């Protein structure tokens, strides 16, 4: 079976994708510096703790590798506005180190974690991949920069790169003990659970947006469906397929209040909330046009109904609280 290097494989989406790849029989090696990831998310014999800038370690791990799936990055939009240098250094600098090492090792296939944040505040929704790239945060910019580098390396190095632009990743793989555990947590669904459990109200960032109930609309995609998108992207590259960028979302938007209600139903608890001001940089609506991924790579979301997402996320959440 092909040998795959997964960077950032101890993180949320990286660990679940690693789990999927192992289940499919791929020979997986993980590199993670554990600055944000969790050691227990990866089988010990597969994990190498190092930074991507550690070119010696990366070169060693790349020996005999057929393709790389590159997750390692910082992901918090708000933090990126406070620490932009750290975001460019880690997300762009780390990617460049990896890409240089890949060129030296003659590894020419890469699946790259990108984001809907490359579109910034979109002109219209659903957003196709051909929409304007206009990020509004250092985080989004760092991902857009790496995508552009990949375009150049496709041309001048024959590197085949697939960028997957995730919309709102959520849900969990509770049977595998894997799910979302950021510190500090900024994402909606874990914060709704926290409010449900502690009785401490969650702040809803704005209720005067031009949507059905005034709260922002997002496209929530189950992490299992996201992991599956990486597997099909990898298979596409292994089969000789070309480079490209693909949105990964369901094409259906939900408001913050709709997600809150789903969490109430699944947990059987009331979620206390209070309306706060708008959060800077939040677009009104982010919904994917994911027809390119469906048509070209045959991917379909299978687990992204909001009740399934919240059920799996809740199962993971409660298992962590107990353990």
In the complex, which residues of this chain contact ligand UFG (CB under 6 A)? Answer: 75, 77, 115-117, 139, 168, 186-188, 191, 202-205, 216, 218, 256, 279, 282, 286
Nearer to ligand UFG by Cβ, of 107 and 253: the residue is: 253
SS3 268: coil
67-70/3-7 β-pairing: parallel
Q: Distance (Å, rounded) from C-alpha 58 to C-alpha 50?
A: 8
Query: For 92, left (φ over 0), alpha (ψ -120 to 50), or beta?
Result: alpha
C-alpha separations of 236 from 27, 87, 160, 233 in Å: 17, 30, 10, 5
Residue 218 Cβ vs ligand UFG, minimum distance, rounded to whole Å? 5
Q: Distance (Å, rounded) from C-alpha 209 to C-alpha 291?
A: 27
Which residue intervals of 24-76 are DSSP H helices?
55-62
Residue 89 Cβ vs ligand UFG, minimum distance, rounded to whole Å? 18
Q: Distance (Å, rounded) from C-alpha 45 to C-alpha 38?
A: 15
Nearer to ligand UFG by Cβ, of 16 and 204: the residue is: 204
Residue 194 Cβ vs ligand UFG, minimum distance, rounded to whole Å? 9
What is the CA angle 36-127-220, rounded to 5? 45
Burial 271-295 (b: 16+ CB within 10 A, else e): bebeeeeeeebbbebbbbbbebbee
For 132, other C-beta atoms within 10 Å of its C-beta total 10
* Residue tagged active-site, from 139, 166, 209, 316: 139
φ/ψ (deg, to 5) at 308? -70, -40
Nearer to ligand UFG by Cβ, of 54 and 185: the residue is: 185
Could you confirm whether 139 is annotated as catalytic? yes
Nearer to ligand UFG by Cβ, of 23 and 124: the residue is: 124
For 299, other C-beta atoms within 10 Å of its C-beta total 23
DSSP string, 203-231: EEE-S-SSSSSSS-EE-EEEHHHHHHHHH
Residue 111 Cβ vs ligand UFG, minimum distance, rounded to whole Å? 17
State which residue has the least CB distance to ligand UFG. Answer: 216
Residue 63 Cβ vs ligand UFG, minimum distance, rounded to whole Å? 32
What is the CA angle 42-43-49, rounded to 5? 60
Residue 163 Cβ vs ligand UFG, minimum distance, rounded to whole Å? 14
What amino acid positions are annotated as catalytic residues?
139
């Amino acid at each position: 079976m092909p040998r795959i290097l997964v960077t950032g494989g101890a993180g949320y989406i990286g660990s679940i994708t690693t789990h999927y790849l192992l289940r499919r029989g791929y020979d997986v090696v993980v590199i993670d510096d554990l600055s944000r990831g969790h050691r227990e998310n990866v089988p010990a014999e597969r994990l190498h703790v190092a930074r991507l800038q550690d070119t010696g370690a990366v070169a060693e791990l790349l020996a005999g590798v057929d393709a790389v799936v590159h997750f390692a990055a910082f992901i918090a939009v708000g933090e990126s506005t406070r620490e932009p240098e750290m975001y460019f250094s880690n997300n762009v600098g780390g990617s460049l180190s990896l890409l240089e090492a890949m060129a030296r090792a003659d590894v020419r296939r890469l699946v790259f974690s990108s984001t809907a944040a490359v579109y910034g505040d979109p002109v219209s929704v659903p957003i196709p991949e051909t929409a304007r790239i206009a990020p509004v945060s250092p985080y989004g910019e760092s991902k857009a920069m790496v995508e552009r580098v990949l375009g150049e390396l496709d041309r001048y190095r024959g590197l085949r790169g697939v960028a997957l632009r995730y919309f709102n990743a959520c849900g969990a793989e509770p049977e595998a003990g894997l799910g979302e555990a950021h510190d500090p947590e900024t994402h909606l669904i874990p914060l709704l659970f926290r409010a449900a459990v502690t009785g401490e109200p969650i702040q809803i960032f704005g209720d005067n947006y031009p949507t059905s109930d005034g709260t922002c609309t997002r496209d929530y995609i189950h992490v299992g469906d996201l992991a599956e998108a990486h597997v099909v992207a990898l298979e596409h590259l292994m089969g000789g397929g070309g480079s490209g960028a693909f949105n990964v979302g369901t094409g259906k938007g939900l408001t913050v209040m709709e997600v809150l209600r789903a969490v109430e139903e699944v947990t059987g608890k009331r979620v206390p909330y209070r309306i706060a001001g708008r959060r800077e940089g939040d677009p009104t609506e982010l919904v994917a046009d994911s027809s390119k991924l469906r048509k070209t790579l045959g991917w379909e979301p299978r687990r992204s109904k909001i009740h399934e997402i919240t059920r799996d996320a809740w199962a993971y959440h409660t298992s962590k609280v107990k353990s």
